[in-house]
Amino acid sequence: MTFPNQPSFKTLQDLSKNPIDLTKEENFTDSRIEKMQLKACGFTLLYGSERVTEEVLTSLYSLAEESNALEKMKQMQEGKVINKIEGYPSEKRSVLHTAMRDFFKEQHEEEAAKEAREFAYKEVEKLKAFLEKIGDQYTDIVQIGIGGSDLGPRAIYFALEAFNTSGRNAHFVSNVDPDDATCVLNKLDLKKTLFVIVSKSGTTLETLTNESFVRDYLEKKGLNPLDHILSVTGKSSPMDDPSKYKASFYMRDYVGGRYSVTSMVGCVALGFCIGMKHLLSFLEGASIMDKHALNAPLKENMPLLSALLGIWNRNFLNLPTTAIIPYSQALHRFTAHLQQCDMESNGKQINKKGEFVDHETGPIIWGEPGTNGQHSFYQLIHQGTTTVPMEFMGFKESQYKNDLVVKDSTSQEKLLANLFAQSIALATGQKSDNPNKTFLGNRPNRVLIAKTLDPKTMGAILSYYENKVAFQGFIWDINSFDQEGVQLGKVLANKIIDLFIEKRTQKKAEPFHLATSYLKALEEL
Protein backbone atom coordinates (compact mmCIF):
# COMPACT_ATOMS: atom_id res chain seq x y z
CA MET A 1 0.00 0.00 0.00
CA THR A 2 1.55 3.30 -1.02
CA PHE A 3 1.62 6.19 1.41
CA PRO A 4 -1.26 8.21 -0.15
CA ASN A 5 -3.43 5.06 -0.26
CA GLN A 6 -3.24 4.42 3.47
CA PRO A 7 -6.66 4.85 5.11
CA SER A 8 -5.43 7.48 7.57
CA PHE A 9 -3.93 9.58 4.78
CA LYS A 10 -7.42 10.70 3.70
CA THR A 11 -8.43 11.45 7.30
CA LEU A 12 -5.31 13.54 7.81
CA GLN A 13 -5.95 15.42 4.57
CA ASP A 14 -9.42 16.32 5.83
CA LEU A 15 -8.08 17.37 9.22
CA SER A 16 -5.40 19.51 7.60
CA LYS A 17 -8.01 21.74 5.97
CA ASN A 18 -8.68 23.28 9.34
CA PRO A 19 -5.68 22.88 11.62
CA ILE A 20 -5.85 24.07 15.21
CA ASP A 21 -5.41 27.83 15.61
CA LEU A 22 -2.68 28.35 18.22
CA THR A 23 -3.24 32.11 18.29
CA LYS A 24 -6.48 31.56 20.21
CA GLU A 25 -5.89 31.71 23.94
CA GLU A 26 -8.34 28.89 24.61
CA ASN A 27 -6.39 26.58 22.30
CA PHE A 28 -2.79 27.17 23.31
CA THR A 29 -2.93 26.69 27.07
CA ASP A 30 -0.75 25.59 29.94
CA SER A 31 -2.58 22.31 30.16
CA ARG A 32 -1.93 21.70 26.45
CA ILE A 33 1.80 22.34 26.90
CA GLU A 34 1.88 20.07 29.93
CA LYS A 35 -0.06 17.32 28.23
CA MET A 36 1.78 17.38 24.92
CA GLN A 37 5.12 16.22 26.27
CA LEU A 38 6.91 12.96 25.70
CA LYS A 39 9.69 11.87 28.06
CA ALA A 40 12.31 9.26 27.20
CA CYS A 41 16.01 8.54 27.75
CA GLY A 42 16.48 11.71 29.80
CA PHE A 43 14.82 13.97 27.22
CA THR A 44 11.53 15.79 27.14
CA LEU A 45 9.96 16.63 23.80
CA LEU A 46 7.48 19.50 24.08
CA TYR A 47 5.15 19.56 21.09
CA GLY A 48 2.16 21.61 22.26
CA SER A 49 3.38 24.31 19.88
CA GLU A 50 2.82 22.04 16.85
CA ARG A 51 -0.48 22.45 14.98
CA VAL A 52 -1.82 19.05 16.03
CA THR A 53 -4.82 17.90 18.04
CA GLU A 54 -5.47 14.56 19.73
CA GLU A 55 -7.45 13.62 16.63
CA VAL A 56 -4.54 14.43 14.33
CA LEU A 57 -2.16 12.48 16.57
CA THR A 58 -4.44 9.45 16.55
CA SER A 59 -4.45 9.45 12.75
CA LEU A 60 -0.69 9.98 12.61
CA TYR A 61 -0.21 6.94 14.84
CA SER A 62 -2.50 5.00 12.52
CA LEU A 63 -0.34 6.08 9.62
CA ALA A 64 2.68 4.65 11.42
CA GLU A 65 0.81 1.45 12.15
CA GLU A 66 -0.50 1.02 8.60
CA SER A 67 3.01 1.45 7.22
CA ASN A 68 4.51 -1.01 9.74
CA ALA A 69 7.01 1.59 10.83
CA LEU A 70 8.00 -0.21 14.04
CA GLU A 71 8.35 -3.56 12.27
CA LYS A 72 10.60 -1.94 9.66
CA MET A 73 12.76 -0.44 12.43
CA LYS A 74 13.15 -3.96 13.79
CA GLN A 75 14.13 -5.28 10.36
CA MET A 76 16.72 -2.54 10.04
CA GLN A 77 18.33 -3.08 13.42
CA GLU A 78 18.32 -6.87 12.92
CA GLY A 79 20.23 -6.55 9.68
CA LYS A 80 17.60 -7.53 7.10
CA VAL A 81 18.40 -6.43 3.53
CA ILE A 82 16.31 -3.24 3.40
CA ASN A 83 18.53 -1.04 1.22
CA LYS A 84 17.04 -2.00 -2.15
CA ILE A 85 14.50 -1.12 -4.85
CA GLU A 86 12.20 -3.95 -5.97
CA GLY A 87 12.34 -4.89 -9.64
CA TYR A 88 15.31 -2.74 -10.63
CA PRO A 89 19.06 -3.03 -10.34
CA SER A 90 19.91 -1.41 -7.01
CA GLU A 91 22.04 -1.72 -3.91
CA LYS A 92 21.06 -4.82 -1.89
CA ARG A 93 22.37 -4.36 1.60
CA SER A 94 21.64 -4.43 5.28
CA VAL A 95 21.66 -1.10 7.11
CA LEU A 96 23.57 -1.65 10.31
CA HIS A 97 24.89 1.60 11.71
CA THR A 98 23.02 0.76 14.93
CA ALA A 99 25.28 -2.29 15.33
CA MET A 100 28.32 0.01 15.50
CA ARG A 101 27.29 0.91 19.06
CA ASP A 102 25.35 -2.16 20.17
CA PHE A 103 27.85 -2.92 22.92
CA PHE A 104 25.66 -2.31 25.94
CA LYS A 105 22.28 -3.58 27.14
CA GLU A 106 19.89 -5.84 25.18
CA GLN A 107 22.34 -6.67 22.39
CA HIS A 108 20.92 -8.00 19.13
CA GLU A 109 21.51 -11.70 18.69
CA GLU A 110 20.24 -12.04 15.10
CA GLU A 111 23.08 -13.25 12.89
CA ALA A 112 23.75 -10.20 10.72
CA ALA A 113 23.43 -7.71 13.57
CA LYS A 114 25.60 -9.82 15.87
CA GLU A 115 28.31 -10.28 13.26
CA ALA A 116 28.35 -6.52 12.60
CA ARG A 117 28.54 -5.73 16.32
CA GLU A 118 31.45 -8.11 16.82
CA PHE A 119 33.25 -6.66 13.83
CA ALA A 120 32.69 -3.15 15.18
CA TYR A 121 33.78 -4.01 18.68
CA LYS A 122 37.06 -5.43 17.39
CA GLU A 123 37.76 -2.07 15.76
CA VAL A 124 36.97 -0.25 18.99
CA GLU A 125 39.47 -2.47 20.81
CA LYS A 126 42.04 -1.89 18.05
CA LEU A 127 41.53 1.85 18.49
CA LYS A 128 41.95 1.62 22.25
CA ALA A 129 45.22 -0.30 21.84
CA PHE A 130 46.43 2.14 19.19
CA LEU A 131 45.73 5.20 21.35
CA GLU A 132 47.53 3.61 24.29
CA LYS A 133 50.50 2.77 22.10
CA ILE A 134 50.98 6.27 20.67
CA GLY A 135 50.79 7.86 24.12
CA ASP A 136 51.53 11.58 23.97
CA GLN A 137 53.45 11.64 20.68
CA TYR A 138 50.76 13.63 18.89
CA THR A 139 48.74 16.70 19.83
CA ASP A 140 46.60 17.21 16.72
CA ILE A 141 44.60 15.07 14.35
CA VAL A 142 43.34 16.05 10.90
CA GLN A 143 40.33 14.24 9.48
CA ILE A 144 40.44 14.06 5.68
CA GLY A 145 37.14 12.97 4.21
CA ILE A 146 34.06 14.45 2.59
CA GLY A 147 30.30 14.12 3.04
CA GLY A 148 29.60 11.55 5.74
CA SER A 149 33.32 11.22 6.45
CA ASP A 150 33.40 14.90 7.32
CA LEU A 151 30.07 16.40 8.42
CA GLY A 152 29.15 13.95 11.18
CA PRO A 153 32.61 13.66 12.74
CA ARG A 154 33.06 17.45 12.55
CA ALA A 155 29.65 18.14 14.13
CA ILE A 156 30.23 15.73 17.02
CA TYR A 157 33.81 16.90 17.56
CA PHE A 158 32.68 20.50 18.05
CA ALA A 159 29.73 19.37 20.16
CA LEU A 160 32.07 17.59 22.56
CA GLU A 161 35.14 19.83 22.38
CA ALA A 162 34.51 20.69 26.06
CA PHE A 163 35.49 17.08 26.86
CA ASN A 164 38.82 17.12 24.99
CA THR A 165 41.92 15.78 26.65
CA SER A 166 43.93 18.92 27.39
CA GLY A 167 46.14 19.98 24.49
CA ARG A 168 44.49 17.76 21.90
CA ASN A 169 42.60 19.17 18.93
CA ALA A 170 41.04 17.95 15.72
CA HIS A 171 40.91 19.68 12.33
CA PHE A 172 39.09 18.87 9.12
CA VAL A 173 39.92 19.02 5.42
CA SER A 174 37.13 18.07 3.08
CA ASN A 175 36.88 20.24 0.00
CA VAL A 176 38.81 19.49 -3.19
CA ASP A 177 39.46 23.27 -3.20
CA PRO A 178 43.25 23.37 -2.70
CA ASP A 179 42.86 26.39 -0.39
CA ASP A 180 41.07 24.21 2.16
CA ALA A 181 44.05 21.93 2.82
CA THR A 182 46.57 24.78 2.60
CA CYS A 183 44.70 26.90 5.12
CA VAL A 184 44.48 24.05 7.66
CA LEU A 185 48.01 22.67 7.20
CA ASN A 186 49.62 26.10 7.54
CA LYS A 187 48.48 26.30 11.15
CA LEU A 188 49.82 22.97 12.40
CA ASP A 189 53.00 21.58 13.86
CA LEU A 190 53.19 18.63 11.46
CA LYS A 191 55.67 16.69 13.61
CA LYS A 192 52.96 16.24 16.21
CA THR A 193 50.06 15.74 13.83
CA LEU A 194 48.17 12.62 12.81
CA PHE A 195 46.08 12.43 9.65
CA VAL A 196 43.09 10.13 9.23
CA ILE A 197 42.16 9.54 5.61
CA VAL A 198 38.59 8.29 5.38
CA SER A 199 37.06 6.64 2.34
CA LYS A 200 35.04 3.44 2.35
CA SER A 201 35.90 2.58 -1.25
CA GLY A 202 39.39 4.05 -1.07
CA THR A 203 38.58 5.89 -4.31
CA THR A 204 36.84 9.18 -3.36
CA LEU A 205 38.31 11.81 -5.68
CA GLU A 206 38.38 14.72 -3.20
CA THR A 207 39.85 12.61 -0.41
CA LEU A 208 42.59 10.98 -2.48
CA THR A 209 43.55 14.36 -3.84
CA ASN A 210 43.82 15.82 -0.35
CA GLU A 211 45.79 12.76 0.78
CA SER A 212 48.35 13.41 -1.96
CA PHE A 213 48.47 16.99 -0.78
CA VAL A 214 49.26 15.92 2.76
CA ARG A 215 51.90 13.38 1.71
CA ASP A 216 53.57 16.02 -0.38
CA TYR A 217 53.55 18.49 2.55
CA LEU A 218 54.95 15.97 5.01
CA GLU A 219 57.73 14.96 2.65
CA LYS A 220 58.65 18.58 1.98
CA LYS A 221 59.03 19.04 5.74
CA GLY A 222 61.31 15.98 5.88
CA LEU A 223 58.72 13.85 7.67
CA ASN A 224 57.83 10.26 6.88
CA PRO A 225 54.12 9.94 5.96
CA LEU A 226 54.12 6.44 7.42
CA ASP A 227 54.55 7.97 10.89
CA HIS A 228 51.59 10.29 10.46
CA ILE A 229 48.89 8.88 8.23
CA LEU A 230 46.10 6.49 9.26
CA SER A 231 43.29 5.19 7.09
CA VAL A 232 39.68 4.30 7.71
CA THR A 233 38.44 2.23 4.81
CA GLY A 234 36.93 -1.04 3.65
CA LYS A 235 39.08 -4.12 4.24
CA SER A 236 41.19 -4.79 1.10
CA SER A 237 40.45 -1.39 -0.44
CA PRO A 238 43.45 0.41 -2.01
CA MET A 239 43.73 2.26 1.30
CA ASP A 240 44.16 -0.93 3.36
CA ASP A 241 47.93 -0.96 2.92
CA PRO A 242 50.44 -1.16 5.81
CA SER A 243 53.23 0.04 3.51
CA LYS A 244 51.45 3.39 3.26
CA TYR A 245 49.52 3.82 6.52
CA LYS A 246 50.65 3.74 10.14
CA ALA A 247 47.39 1.94 10.96
CA SER A 248 44.13 1.11 9.23
CA PHE A 249 40.68 0.88 10.75
CA TYR A 250 37.84 -0.82 8.94
CA MET A 251 34.29 -0.09 7.96
CA ARG A 252 31.75 -2.16 6.03
CA ASP A 253 29.29 -1.33 3.28
CA TYR A 254 26.25 -1.79 5.52
CA VAL A 255 27.08 1.53 7.15
CA GLY A 256 26.24 4.45 4.88
CA GLY A 257 28.49 7.50 4.96
CA ARG A 258 25.85 9.74 6.51
CA TYR A 259 25.25 7.16 9.26
CA SER A 260 28.91 6.46 9.93
CA VAL A 261 29.77 8.79 12.83
CA THR A 262 29.62 5.99 15.38
CA SER A 263 31.82 3.72 13.23
CA MET A 264 35.58 4.18 12.93
CA VAL A 265 34.83 7.07 10.55
CA GLY A 266 34.04 9.23 13.54
CA CYS A 267 35.58 7.25 16.38
CA VAL A 268 39.26 7.58 15.47
CA ALA A 269 39.46 11.37 15.67
CA LEU A 270 36.91 11.55 18.49
CA GLY A 271 38.67 8.85 20.53
CA PHE A 272 42.01 10.64 20.05
CA CYS A 273 40.51 13.90 21.35
CA ILE A 274 38.02 12.96 24.07
CA GLY A 275 39.52 9.60 25.11
CA MET A 276 37.98 6.13 25.22
CA LYS A 277 35.85 6.69 28.31
CA HIS A 278 33.93 9.59 26.79
CA LEU A 279 33.83 7.87 23.40
CA LEU A 280 32.15 4.80 24.89
CA SER A 281 29.73 7.02 26.74
CA PHE A 282 28.83 8.67 23.41
CA LEU A 283 28.26 5.24 21.82
CA GLU A 284 26.18 4.13 24.80
CA GLY A 285 23.91 7.17 24.50
CA ALA A 286 23.29 6.33 20.84
CA SER A 287 22.59 2.69 21.68
CA ILE A 288 20.12 3.58 24.42
CA MET A 289 18.12 5.73 21.98
CA ASP A 290 18.32 2.95 19.34
CA LYS A 291 16.73 0.50 21.78
CA HIS A 292 14.08 3.08 22.62
CA ALA A 293 13.28 3.54 18.90
CA LEU A 294 13.09 -0.25 18.59
CA ASN A 295 11.10 -1.13 21.69
CA ALA A 296 9.01 1.84 22.76
CA PRO A 297 5.36 1.43 21.82
CA LEU A 298 3.81 3.60 19.15
CA LYS A 299 2.70 6.43 21.41
CA GLU A 300 5.80 6.54 23.57
CA ASN A 301 8.39 6.42 20.82
CA MET A 302 10.22 9.75 20.64
CA PRO A 303 11.95 9.51 17.23
CA LEU A 304 8.70 8.15 15.77
CA LEU A 305 6.66 11.02 17.20
CA SER A 306 9.13 13.50 15.74
CA ALA A 307 8.91 11.70 12.37
CA LEU A 308 5.10 11.89 12.44
CA LEU A 309 5.02 15.57 13.35
CA GLY A 310 7.42 16.17 10.45
CA ILE A 311 5.13 14.28 8.07
CA TRP A 312 2.13 16.30 9.27
CA ASN A 313 4.02 19.52 8.52
CA ARG A 314 5.42 18.30 5.21
CA ASN A 315 2.61 16.34 3.60
CA PHE A 316 -0.52 17.83 5.15
CA LEU A 317 0.35 21.43 6.05
CA ASN A 318 2.52 21.51 2.87
CA LEU A 319 5.57 23.17 4.40
CA PRO A 320 8.65 22.53 2.27
CA THR A 321 11.48 23.10 4.75
CA THR A 322 12.41 22.41 8.36
CA ALA A 323 14.79 24.52 10.43
CA ILE A 324 16.75 22.70 13.13
CA ILE A 325 17.92 25.21 15.72
CA PRO A 326 20.01 24.10 18.70
CA TYR A 327 20.23 26.70 21.47
CA SER A 328 23.81 25.57 22.07
CA GLN A 329 26.84 26.97 20.29
CA ALA A 330 28.60 23.61 20.63
CA LEU A 331 26.06 22.22 18.14
CA HIS A 332 26.91 24.86 15.53
CA ARG A 333 27.73 22.25 12.86
CA PHE A 334 25.12 19.69 13.89
CA THR A 335 22.43 21.02 11.55
CA ALA A 336 24.88 20.77 8.63
CA HIS A 337 25.29 17.10 9.52
CA LEU A 338 21.54 16.55 9.74
CA GLN A 339 21.17 18.34 6.43
CA GLN A 340 23.08 15.47 4.86
CA CYS A 341 21.60 12.75 7.03
CA ASP A 342 18.03 13.78 6.25
CA MET A 343 18.19 15.21 2.72
CA GLU A 344 20.44 12.52 1.26
CA SER A 345 18.28 9.85 2.90
CA ASN A 346 14.83 11.13 2.09
CA GLY A 347 15.28 13.50 -0.87
CA LYS A 348 13.87 10.78 -3.13
CA GLN A 349 11.49 10.63 -6.08
CA ILE A 350 10.60 6.92 -6.16
CA ASN A 351 9.21 4.46 -3.65
CA LYS A 352 10.68 1.05 -2.85
CA LYS A 353 8.83 -0.52 -5.77
CA GLY A 354 10.50 1.89 -8.17
CA GLU A 355 7.36 3.96 -8.77
CA PHE A 356 7.57 7.74 -8.97
CA VAL A 357 5.85 9.10 -5.87
CA ASP A 358 2.93 11.52 -6.12
CA HIS A 359 3.57 13.15 -2.75
CA GLU A 360 6.34 15.16 -1.13
CA THR A 361 9.25 13.30 0.46
CA GLY A 362 12.08 14.72 2.62
CA PRO A 363 12.03 18.47 3.34
CA ILE A 364 14.89 20.92 2.96
CA ILE A 365 16.77 20.97 6.28
CA TRP A 366 18.62 24.10 7.32
CA GLY A 367 19.46 26.18 10.37
CA GLU A 368 22.00 27.86 12.60
CA PRO A 369 22.24 27.92 16.40
CA GLY A 370 20.05 30.14 18.56
CA THR A 371 20.31 32.81 19.76
CA ASN A 372 22.39 33.69 16.68
CA GLY A 373 19.59 32.83 14.27
CA GLN A 374 17.29 35.24 16.09
CA HIS A 375 19.56 38.07 14.97
CA SER A 376 19.70 36.71 11.45
CA PHE A 377 16.82 34.99 9.68
CA TYR A 378 14.06 35.00 12.34
CA GLN A 379 12.53 38.09 10.70
CA LEU A 380 11.35 35.80 7.90
CA ILE A 381 10.37 33.07 10.34
CA HIS A 382 8.02 35.45 12.17
CA GLN A 383 6.78 37.67 9.35
CA GLY A 384 7.79 36.08 6.02
CA THR A 385 5.33 34.60 3.54
CA THR A 386 6.61 31.00 3.81
CA THR A 387 6.02 29.16 7.08
CA VAL A 388 9.01 27.24 8.44
CA PRO A 389 8.51 24.45 11.00
CA MET A 390 11.18 24.71 13.68
CA GLU A 391 12.86 21.96 15.68
CA PHE A 392 14.50 23.51 18.73
CA MET A 393 16.96 21.90 21.15
CA GLY A 394 18.08 23.22 24.53
CA PHE A 395 19.94 22.16 27.67
CA LYS A 396 19.30 23.01 31.29
CA GLU A 397 23.01 23.36 32.08
CA SER A 398 25.99 24.62 30.11
CA GLN A 399 28.94 22.35 29.28
CA TYR A 400 31.78 24.26 30.93
CA LYS A 401 29.68 25.31 33.96
CA ASN A 402 31.49 28.61 33.59
CA ASP A 403 28.79 31.23 33.80
CA LEU A 404 28.28 34.74 35.03
CA VAL A 405 25.36 36.67 36.49
CA VAL A 406 24.81 39.84 34.42
CA LYS A 407 21.78 41.96 35.30
CA ASP A 408 20.59 39.31 37.77
CA SER A 409 20.50 36.36 35.37
CA THR A 410 23.07 33.89 34.06
CA SER A 411 23.89 33.48 30.38
CA GLN A 412 22.40 29.99 30.42
CA GLU A 413 19.14 31.41 31.78
CA LYS A 414 19.13 34.06 29.05
CA LEU A 415 19.73 31.38 26.45
CA LEU A 416 16.85 29.20 27.68
CA ALA A 417 14.54 32.19 28.10
CA ASN A 418 15.10 33.03 24.44
CA LEU A 419 14.42 29.45 23.38
CA PHE A 420 11.10 29.25 25.22
CA ALA A 421 10.14 32.80 24.18
CA GLN A 422 10.54 31.87 20.53
CA SER A 423 8.48 28.72 20.87
CA ILE A 424 5.64 30.73 22.40
CA ALA A 425 5.94 33.78 20.10
CA LEU A 426 5.91 31.62 16.97
CA ALA A 427 2.77 29.82 18.10
CA THR A 428 0.72 32.71 19.51
CA GLY A 429 1.80 35.60 17.33
CA GLN A 430 0.67 39.08 18.31
CA LYS A 431 -2.23 41.28 17.27
CA SER A 432 -1.59 44.96 16.55
CA ASP A 433 -3.16 47.90 14.72
CA ASN A 434 0.21 48.39 13.07
CA PRO A 435 0.53 45.73 10.35
CA ASN A 436 4.29 45.81 10.78
CA LYS A 437 3.95 44.91 14.46
CA THR A 438 1.45 42.15 13.68
CA PHE A 439 2.66 38.57 14.08
CA LEU A 440 0.36 36.03 12.46
CA GLY A 441 1.57 33.18 14.67
CA ASN A 442 0.65 29.56 13.98
CA ARG A 443 4.27 28.80 13.14
CA PRO A 444 4.61 25.14 14.19
CA ASN A 445 7.58 24.23 16.36
CA ARG A 446 8.72 21.70 18.95
CA VAL A 447 11.35 21.79 21.67
CA LEU A 448 13.64 18.96 22.74
CA ILE A 449 15.29 19.54 26.12
CA ALA A 450 17.84 17.60 28.16
CA LYS A 451 19.97 18.21 31.20
CA THR A 452 23.35 18.93 29.60
CA LEU A 453 25.19 18.23 26.37
CA ASP A 454 27.60 15.53 27.51
CA PRO A 455 28.87 12.61 25.37
CA LYS A 456 26.00 10.31 26.33
CA THR A 457 23.35 12.94 25.57
CA MET A 458 25.06 13.72 22.26
CA GLY A 459 24.97 10.05 21.27
CA ALA A 460 21.28 9.91 22.06
CA ILE A 461 20.49 13.07 20.05
CA LEU A 462 22.37 11.67 17.08
CA SER A 463 20.41 8.44 17.23
CA TYR A 464 17.14 10.34 17.78
CA TYR A 465 17.63 12.14 14.48
CA GLU A 466 18.97 9.12 12.58
CA ASN A 467 15.93 7.12 13.66
CA LYS A 468 13.52 9.97 12.96
CA VAL A 469 14.83 10.06 9.39
CA ALA A 470 14.55 6.27 9.10
CA PHE A 471 10.96 6.29 10.38
CA GLN A 472 9.96 8.95 7.85
CA GLY A 473 11.48 6.87 5.07
CA PHE A 474 9.62 3.78 6.33
CA ILE A 475 6.31 5.64 6.33
CA TRP A 476 6.86 7.16 2.88
CA ASP A 477 8.01 3.68 1.76
CA ILE A 478 11.12 5.06 0.10
CA ASN A 479 14.68 3.74 0.29
CA SER A 480 16.46 6.10 2.69
CA PHE A 481 19.77 4.32 2.30
CA ASP A 482 20.94 4.78 -1.30
CA GLN A 483 22.02 7.98 -3.07
CA GLU A 484 21.68 7.49 -6.83
CA GLY A 485 21.09 11.24 -7.19
CA VAL A 486 24.75 12.05 -6.73
CA GLN A 487 25.97 9.93 -9.65
CA LEU A 488 25.19 12.07 -12.69
CA GLY A 489 27.21 15.02 -11.40
CA LYS A 490 30.21 12.75 -10.78
CA VAL A 491 30.10 11.34 -14.31
CA LEU A 492 29.87 14.77 -15.93
CA ALA A 493 32.60 16.20 -13.65
CA ASN A 494 34.99 13.48 -14.79
CA LYS A 495 34.27 14.36 -18.42
CA ILE A 496 35.04 18.01 -17.73
CA ILE A 497 38.23 17.12 -15.85
CA ASP A 498 39.29 15.34 -19.05
CA LEU A 499 38.70 18.58 -20.95
CA PHE A 500 41.01 20.43 -18.56
CA ILE A 501 43.62 17.71 -18.97
CA GLU A 502 43.27 17.86 -22.75
CA LYS A 503 44.03 21.57 -22.70
CA ARG A 504 47.17 21.14 -20.67
CA THR A 505 48.52 17.84 -21.96
CA GLN A 506 46.93 17.36 -25.38
CA LYS A 507 45.66 14.00 -24.09
CA LYS A 508 42.53 13.56 -26.22
CA ALA A 509 39.22 13.91 -24.32
CA GLU A 510 35.71 12.92 -25.32
CA PRO A 511 33.91 15.99 -26.74
CA PHE A 512 31.36 17.52 -24.32
CA HIS A 513 29.85 20.44 -26.12
CA LEU A 514 27.89 22.15 -23.32
CA ALA A 515 30.89 22.11 -21.01
CA THR A 516 33.03 23.72 -23.70
CA SER A 517 30.92 26.87 -23.51
CA TYR A 518 31.39 27.12 -19.76
CA LEU A 519 35.14 26.63 -20.11
CA LYS A 520 35.24 29.34 -22.77
CA ALA A 521 33.59 31.78 -20.36
CA LEU A 522 36.20 30.88 -17.76
CA GLU A 523 38.98 31.41 -20.27
CA GLU A 524 37.68 34.87 -21.12
CA LEU A 525 37.83 36.16 -17.53
Catalytic residues: 344, 375, 490
Interface residue with a second copy, options 201, 299, 417, 431 (CB under 8 A): 417
Q: Is 2 in the site for a second copy (CB under 8 A)?
A: no
Instruction: Give me the sign of the Cα torsion angle 399, 401, 406, 407.
Output: positive
Q: Is 447 in the site for a second copy (CB under 8 A)?
A: yes
**28/259 with CB nearer a second copy:** 28
Minimal CA–CA distance to 315: which of 8, 11, 12, 7? 12
Q: Is 201 in the site for a second copy (CB under 8 A)?
A: no
**242/511 with CB nearer a second copy:** 511
**What is the rounded distance in angstroms from the CA atom of residue 78 to the CA atom of residue 94?**
9
Cα first-last separation, the chain: 55
Pinpoint the alpha helices (H) of 385-480.
411-428, 455-476
Q: Is 347 in the site for a second copy (CB under 8 A)?
A: yes
CB of 500 to a second copy, least distance (A): 4
Interface residue with a second copy, options 388, 393, 462, 470 (CB under 8 A): 388
**75/383 with CB nearer a second copy:** 383
The separation between CA 390 and the C-alpha centre of its own chain, rounded to angstroms, equals 16
**What is the rounded distance in angstroms from the CA atom of residue 519 to the CA atom of residue 466?**
40
Stretch that binds a second copy, among 191-199, 268-276, 303-311, 378-386 (CB under 8 A): 378-386
CB of 475 to a second copy, least distance (A): 15
User: Is-contact 100 94, C-beta < 8 A?
Assistant: no
Return the residues of window 301-340 that contact a second copy according to CB under 8 A: 320-321, 327-330, 336, 339-340
**40/294 with CB nearer a second copy:** 40
Minimal CA–CA distance to 480: which of 384, 361, 381, 373? 361
Build a one-symbol-per-residue string for 131-170: x at contacts with a second copy by CB under 8 A, - elsewhere: ---------------xxx-xx---------xx--------
Minimal CA–CA distance to 250: which of 212, 76, 259, 241? 241
Instruction: Give me the sign of the Cα torsion angle 60, 66, 72, 74.
Output: positive
Q: How many residues contact a second copy, by CB under 8 A? A: 159
Return the residues of window 23-82 that contact a second copy according to CB under 8 A: 28-30, 33-34, 37, 42, 44, 46, 48
Q: Is 517 in the site for a second copy (CB under 8 A)?
A: yes
Which H or E element spans position 180?
helix 178-185
**What is the rounded distance in angstroms from the CA atom of residue 272 to the CA atom of residue 276?**
8
CB of 102 to a second copy, least distance (A): 27
CA of 375: how far to CAs of 248, 371, 372, 380, 410, in Å? Answer: 45, 7, 5, 11, 20
CB of 130 to a second copy, least distance (A): 27
Stretch that binds a second copy, among 4-12, 109-117, 133-141, 515-523 (CB under 8 A): 515-523
**107/410 with CB nearer a second copy:** 410
